[in-house]
Amino acid sequence: MKTPNWTVLTTAVATAAMAAALSAPVLAQTATHDHSAAALHKLTLNQGRKWATDEPLRAGMERIRGLVEPQLGAAHAGKLTPAQYRKLATQVETEVGGIVANCKLEPKADAMLHLVIADIGAGTDAMAGKDAKTRPALGLVKVAESLNQYGSHFDHPGFERIRNAH
């Protein structure tokens, strides 16, 4: 058996990774419902108005808020353990999964939601210890701030900002 040519293999992997990265903006603009495709846009309003929502999105965001907000005080005080952060991250990710599976937004609103979901994912990654550069407490803050961004950009009657997000 011949040993692999590591230079060729490394080049092939790097080329595939670069192609995937460059195709992300195109994927984010398609009509598919894939919240993992990273959009390179800034979260904005819909011509000065909040984006429309549906019941699965509103219910999921309320549940995420209900998970996150009560833990912020303990996080700020340094009282949450790594296991507690991991558990909370898993709970938030489960809710995000439900949102992704069930929400039916028009494509432009969906693209804006992708940005919020990506920020929530970055926060849960830090909470779960998957991002060594960001402390779990800062990941929780990122999720809370993402929820506030959601509330500022999406039409969700009664959704309350998290006051002690940072």
In a domain, 8, yes or no: no
Tally of CA atoms within 13 A in the half-sphere of 35 that contains its CB: 24
Name the pTM for this structure.
Answer: 0.75
In a domain, 94, yes or no: yes
In a domain, 26, yes or no: no
Number of domains in the chain: 1
Q: What digits encode the pLDDT tens for the residues 27-76? A: 343 344 444 444 447 999 999 999 999 999 999 999 999 999 999 999 99
Give me the CATH number covering residue 85: 1.20.120
In a domain, 133, yes or no: yes
Binning pLDDT at 50, 70 and 90, where does residue 20 land? Answer: very low
In a domain, 166, yes or no: no
In a domain, 24, yes or no: no
Amino acid at 122: A
What is the chain's alpha carbon radius of gyration, rounded to the nearest angstrom? Answer: 18
Q: Please give the residue range of the domain that contains residue 91.
A: 43-153
- The number of residues in the chain equals 166
The residue assigned the tokens 């080049």 is 11
What whole-number distance in Å separates Cα of residue 162 and Cα of residue 147?
Answer: 8
Q: What digits encode the pLDDT tens for the residues 86-127? A: 999 999 999 999 999 998 999 999 999 999 999 999 999 999
